[in-house]
Structure 1
């Protein structure tokens, strides 16, 4: 049996370790932060920008660039948290719009049928198998959960769906059901739709921008945008590092591209507020990390044409 690879260290031990690696640390400021946020989240998550690669390679362990302080790493951590919060706010708005438009355009296509989303014949012929999985593993499970009296209570599904199941003969319109779908599930639904419904949704997104939006969105463009946004939404929801993340490990699929997607999916006034928050974050990063802000923003994709 091998011994412990990572032994417990108290906060003062952790700050001493950072000092031994060349970081400037004030315990009075650093230890309260470590208590609140955790050493691993801050240091392991955001140290790379501040490492001296030559000294690290030579010593076989982390060595920080001369002059690096704990406050520097924490500033990048705070910037990334703000980035996640801002991006998540925009994605939630885009998610709501997709749910609304999918429900509207799909139901418009099948206005006289009860729960038409349970009929695989209403989905694109090339995606019937995927649609069947969506129906059986998502839609029917939601409806069955709320139709079963043993499931009432804290873990018994949503009361608003139960109302339709019990009081309206099990007729649950898609605009009601959509509220109980995750972002990934509504994207899945959209991507299994017929060409006509997909085009109608894309056209509606284009129209939401009015005269201020010149780009015409296609169904394939929406596929790319929403696949990217689902990735970044999950990353934000799990509090993972965001600023240098790339969808599907593609260098041209950065967080900046996710913000660019929002420019085409949100109401222009809503996007303006998101963009202002982003620009304020960038200004703050230049103020707090003047020596490293440019490289951090390069990894974001900010200023490369995406934003």
Structure 2
């Protein structure tokens, strides 16, 4: 009706609680015993309630009630495992990222020149080339790029090896995907797999790297985007459902790439050491098994991992 006033309800955001308040909250839920209070308070102060919160979800039912027997130590065990997992994965990702930079240079610069990327014919099309050049134009003026511009006048942009050192892994992944198919094959041949597989693996590694670098949960992150494509030669190593095995399917791709880069790699030993710390007893309280999160039974005994 004209002239009538309408009541509105404003929902206020939650105020931040202190670490001591969070401690009381968790203690009221039965998660913290008297002897755990000091350790729990330290974790709440220096790790943070809201970061630890994402590790509580798997230990709760649909009504957010904790499963019987769950304690704060279980939450910390998942957090510490995930932290160790991210660190060992980042070590592998670094080696893979460096190898791809070199592989693109090896595949392209020798036969097509260090400035091949200035020509549209080396890309899938004009749009792909235009998008890559936007990345080139947007690069920070680091010392190597400044040196080129101060020393040379033509061609107008630095060589591909200088460009690649400044690109993020995501930008490099998009470059590989945007190259002409024959060029993608030239890169993929160095790793021993089909070009579609290699493009998929670098893309999936990019997502995994971003999760690790931003301290996001990895161990049971079931985001299905950019899942690595299975390669025929190692098809049995991938989880039956790649979306379910978010980190493990990407780990298979990492291990395959590392073995291609360095057949004597021992990275898998460090990875297996971390995986032995998976808190299976904690997960069992919530009815979770390694297989239910995409980790194949006795995977570590297979020749692929040895």
TM-score by length of 1: 0.79
1:265 and 2:257 correspond? yes
Cα offsets for 1:79-129 (capped at 9, x unmatched):
111111111221121111111111121112313xx62212212223xx331
Q: Distance in 1 between matches of 2:298 and 2:291?
A: 11
The residue number in structure 2 matching 1:6 is 14
Match of 1:204 among 190, 205, 213: 190
The residue number in structure 2 matching 1:141 is 138
Q: Distance in 2 between matches of 1:93 and 1:294?
A: 36
Q: Is the deviation greater in 188-197 or in 295-304?
A: 295-304
Cα offsets for 1:144-202 (capped at 9, x unmatched):
x6xxxxxxxxxxx2101211221133552211211000111111111111222211111
Match of 1:34 among 7, 29, 44: 44
Q: Distance in 1 between matches of 2:44 and 2:197?
A: 43
The residue number in structure 1 matching 2:115 is 115
8 Å CA contact 2:96, 2:257 repeated in 1 = yes
**Residue 6 of structure 1 aligns to a residue in which SS?**
coil
**Residue 190 of structure 2 aligns to a residue in which SS?**
helix
8 Å CA contact 1:232, 1:247 repeated in 2 = no
**Residue 8 of structure 1 aligns to a residue in which SS?**
coil
8 Å CA contact 1:257, 1:306 repeated in 2 = no
The residue number in structure 2 matching 1:21 is 29
TM-score by length of 2: 0.79
Structure 2 portions without partners, runs of 5+: 1-8, 228-240, 301-306
Deviation at 1:205, TM superposition (A): 1.2
8 Å CA contact 1:72, 1:289 repeated in 2 = yes
8 Å CA contact 2:224, 2:242 repeated in 1 = no
Count of aligned residue pairs for this structure pair: 271
Match of 1:103 among 102, 105, 115: 105
8 Å CA contact 2:85, 2:275 repeated in 1 = no
8 Å CA contact 2:70, 2:282 repeated in 1 = no
Cα separation, partners in 2 of 1:17 and 1:286, compared to 1, 3 Å: closer
Q: Distance in 2 between matches of 1:174 and 1:305?
A: 43
